[in-house]
Amino acid sequence: MSSTELLRREWTAFRRPGRLISLAAAALAVIALGLLFAVGSNSSCDGPCPAVPTAGDGSVVSDTFWFLHRDLGRDGSITVRMTSMTGTITYPPPDHDQIVPGLVPWAKAGIIVKDGVRQGSRYAALMMTGSHGVRFQHDYKHDVAGSAGGVSTQSPRWLRLTRSGDTITGSESADGKQWHTVATAELNGLPDTLQVGLFATSPGDLTLRKTGLGGAIEEVRFTQAVGVFDNVTVEGGTAGSWDSGSVGEMNHTDWEKYHNASGVVEENGVITVSGTGDIGPIGEGGARTVENTLLGLVFALIIVLVVAARYGARETSSRRVIAARSAVVGAATFVTGLVAVGIVVPVGIAILESKGVPTPPVPLLTGARVIVGVAAVLALCAVLFYGLGVWLRRGWAAILVGMSLVAVPYAVTAFPLLPDTVSEWLLRLTPAAGFAVKQTMVEYPQVTAHYAPSAGFFPLPGWAGLAVLCAYTAIVMWMAFGSKPTANADWR
Give dist(CA 376, CA 370) in Å, integer.
Answer: 10
Angle at the Cα of 29 (from 322 to 291), degrees rounded to 5?
100
Is the N-terminal amide bond of 281 cis, ω within 30° of 0? Answer: no
32: left (phi over 0), alpha (psi -120 to 50) or beta: alpha
Average pLDDT estimate for 136-156: 90
Q: 334-360 pLDDT, tens per residue?
A: 999 999 999 999 999 999 988 888 777
- Which CATH fold would you assign to the domain 62-280? Jelly Rolls (2.60.120)
Residue-by-residue DSSP string for 339-392: HHHHHHHHHHHHHHHHTT-------HHHHHHHHHHHHHHHHHHHHHHHHHHHHH
Tell if the pTM clears 0.85, that is, is over it: yes
pLDDT tens-digit readout, 181-223: 999 999 999 999 999 999 999 999 999 999 989 999 999 999 9
- For the stretch 421-461, pLDDT in tens is 999 999 999 999 999 999 888 889 999 999 999 988 999 99
| 74-102 tens-digit pLDDT | 999 999 999 999 999 999 998 899 999 99
Question: Residue ranges of the domains in the chain?
Answer: 3-41+286-491, 62-280
**pLDDT band at 65; cut points 50, 70, 90:** very high
Q: Check pLDDT > 50 for residue 488.
A: no
